[in-house]
Amino acid sequence: MQDDVKRGRGRPKSWDNKAAQNTIKSLDRALEVLVQLGEMQGSTLSEIAVALDQSPATVYRVLTTFQGRGFADFDEQAQTWSIGPAAFLTGSHFLRRTSLVERARPIMRDLMEATGETANLGIERDGKVLFLGQVETHATIRAFFAPGTASSMHSSGIGKALLCRMDDKRQREVLAASQLEQYTPFTLTDPEAMIADLHATKARGYAIDGEERNIGMRCIAAPVYNVFGEAVAGISVSGPTSRITEDRIEELATPVMDAAARLTRAIGGNNRPAG
């Protein structure tokens, strides 16, 4: 009886983990349209249809359905489609699913004030860094990662802070999936060089993105741990290399690590990492 109650909470009794059998194909295709719409904000129907390799008529029916629910907006004058407010409201529930974002906000604000640079919060999701929050610097030149932005882990300060705490198998899986794509001349694209960088990151306690994602921008990040000592998030500061110079890295790394340790304590985590 107890097993039946447990199954009933999240899936029917007949569920047998056959993904194809339990997937609603039309819904899956509709969600593909929604995801593509988010990536192609302000695009025409034809552009979205071509990107998805679907007929304009099919995509139009999906978009108008989403529009009726507030998940898509249509600009009559420009004849373009964009994500609607309901998508934002639904997505925001993800941020409220955990106390991480709420607890991080004042800590990130203090970190920004202490360093003068933009503070960021991110987690690993599907082999990428998903940015959950940011407190922008008052300076005119700044880094910007909107909540919900995803970025490659191997070229991200937060990504490397999390990668260095993964077990070897998971670490190599993530790196293999990313194919170590090169974004700038400073991006680490050699697997062994990447692994060596992660060993150095783990040893010193913080990660550095030295213009590896964007030329002229540098990032310093440290991991946040859960109660089991597992790295579940990263906190960082990012800004132009003209302000975050190489000789300031150690100076700025201290408040970043302090902020990560403070957030770890705030979520009841263990500052003694596993492994």
Looking at residue 20, what is its pLDDT?
53
Lowest mean pLDDT, pick from 7-11, 60-64, 87-91: 7-11
Please give the Cα distance from 81 to 38 (Å, whole number). Answer: 10
Please give the Cα distance from 138 to 149 (Å, whole number). Answer: 21
C-beta atoms surrounding 17 within 10 Å: 7
Residue 98: pLDDT band (50, 70, 90) is low
C-beta atoms surrounding 218 within 10 Å: 28
Residue 9: pLDDT band (50, 70, 90) is low
Q: Which fold has domain 13-89?
A: Arc Repressor Mutant, subunit A (1.10.10)
Residue 242: pLDDT band (50, 70, 90) is very high
**Which tens digits make up the pLDDT trace of 18-54?**
555 556 888 998 999 999 998 888 899 999 999 999 9
Q: Which residue, among 235, 241, 250, has the nearest Cα to 215 in the 3D structure? A: 241
Please give the Cα distance from 123 to 129 (Å, whole number). Answer: 6
Question: DSSP label at 7?
Answer: H
Give this prediction's pTM.
0.69
Locate all alpha helices (DSSP H) within the chain, ordered by sequence: 2-10, 25-39, 45-52, 56-68, 85-95, 100-115, 157-163, 168-178, 191-204, 249-266
Looking at residue 7, what is its pLDDT?
44
What is the Cβ-side half-sphere exposure of residue 141, based on CA atoms within 13 angstroms?
9
C-beta atoms surrounding 234 within 10 Å: 32
Dihedral angle sign, alpha carbons of residues 12, 14, 17, 21? negative
Residue 81: pLDDT band (50, 70, 90) is very high
Domain ranges in the chain are 13-89, 98-266
C-beta atoms surrounding 171 within 10 Å: 18
CATH architecture of 98-266: 2-Layer Sandwich (3.30)
Q: Which residue, among 68, 59, 57, 55, has the nearest Cα to 34 in the 3D structure? A: 59
Residue 143 neighbours by CB under 8 Å, 6+ apart = 117, 118, 120, 217, 219, 238, 239, 240
